[in-house]
Structures are given as C-alpha cells and as structure tokens.
Amino acid sequence: MMPVKIGFGGLADSITDQLKEQGYEAPNEGKRFDRLSRSINHLLLNGLISDSTAAEARKRLMREICASARPIAEVQE
C-alpha cells in the first residue's frame, strides 16, 4: 500500500476528503475518524491535553486510518 499522508490541523480537510484525494477510502470508518480528529483538536485547543498527548493520540489514529484505508475501486465500464 502506498503511504497515506493525513493532515490533522484545525484547518485541514476532513480525513475522508484527504483519503479520497489520494485514491483511498475507509469504508464504515471515515466519519468516525473525522470526529476523532476534531475531538483531539478540540481538547488540545482548550488546554485539556498537552501537545505530547495530542501527538500520541494522532499517531494512534493514524495507525487506525492506515489499517482501514483501502484503494477506491474503479468503476469498470
């Protein structure tokens, strides 16, 4: 599988959109990943978790994203 690159910042596109731009999808998990990423950002911005805790949470989320990402099936005509 090609490496997947995901931006987690507050201004980044949704994970679903980022995967789609790279030719991947996360069936049944995309919206969950989007919510988790927003939650991490929300906790960090409100001072409820440290930078290092947010980095570890994003690393764990990235592992889940990579495990779930599948190439988008091309439509055959």
- Domain assignments of the chain as residue spans, ordered by start: 15-70
pLDDT band at 24; cut points 50, 70, 90: very high
Residue type, 38: R
Which phi and psi angles does 52 have, rounded to 5°? Answer: -70, -35
Percentage of the chain exceeding pLDDT 90: 83
Phi-psi label, residue 28: left if phi above 0, alpha if psi -120 to 50, beta otherwise: left
13-36 as b/e: b if 16+ CB within 10 A: eebbebbeebebbbeebbeebbeb
**Is the pLDDT at 33 greater than 60, yes or no?**
yes
Percentage of the chain exceeding pLDDT 70: 92
| Residue 47: count of CB within 10 angstroms of its CB | 7
Q: Give the model's pLDDT for residue 76.
A: 40
